[in-house]
């Protein structure tokens, strides 16, 4: 049985919005990823599930690293732009900078991180698994910074709320 996108049964899952940053053959890119999941405490493992045609897929495969930036409550416009355009066709980082969003260089990996995110995590690629129509990239956490004052944006298709953790 399929559980397709925008099906009322699929819309019940609440998730955070991960802003996945990467660098590679397609340049520096950011994408919004609703499927960002904490898998393990020790070692720290986080998974992102991406469609196979995403620019970020090629970047992660090339450099074996990526950033995960959990979207703060005040970053919904940033997530809309990051998720609404393809990095193959559009320089989203430059557009977001023009709109006033800020980035900084990661400490341990070669990509940008989103300034003002509620959580910034630098990951090296631990494992790649194809599952159905998506690719799960499991990242091992090598650095993580959170801002206890920032609320994390979470979303379902039915509603948008905030999660203060």
Query: Does the global pTM surpass 0.75?
Result: yes
Total domains in the chain come to 1
Q: Give the pLDDT of residue 162.
A: 41
- Range list of β-strands (E), the chain: 15-16, 18-22, 29-33, 36-40, 45-50, 65-70, 103-105, 112-114, 119-131, 134-146, 152-155, 160-163
Q: Is residue 155 part of a domain?
A: no
Residue 10 confidence (pLDDT): 72
What CATH number is given to the structural domain containing 64? 2.30.110.10
Low-confidence ranges of the chain (pLDDT < 50): 160-165
- Position 10 in a domain: no
Report yes or no on 89 lying in a domain. yes
**Domain extent at residue 30:** 17-150
Residue 134 lies in a domain: yes
């Amino acid at each position: 049985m399929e559980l397709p996108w925008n099906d009322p049964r699929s819309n019940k899952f609440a998730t955070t919005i991960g802003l996945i940053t990467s660098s590679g053959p397609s340049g520096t890119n950011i994408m919004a990823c609703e499927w960002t999941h904490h898998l393990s405490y020790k070692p720290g493992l986080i998974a992102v599930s991406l469609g196979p045609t995403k620019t970020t897929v090629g970047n992660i495969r090339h450099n074996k690293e990526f950033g995960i930036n959990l979207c703060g409550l005040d970053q919904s416009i940033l997530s809309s732009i990051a998720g609404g355009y393809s990095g193959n066709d559009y320089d989203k980082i430059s557009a977001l900078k023009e709109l006033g969003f800020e980035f900084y260089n990661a400490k341990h990996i070669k990509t940008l991180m989103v300034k003002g995110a509620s959580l910034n995590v630098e990951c090296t690629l631990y494992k790649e698994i194809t599952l159905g129509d998506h690719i799960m990239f499991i990242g091992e956490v090598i650095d993580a910074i959170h801002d206890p004052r920032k609320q994390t944006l979470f979303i379902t298709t039915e509603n948008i709320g905030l999660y203060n953790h």
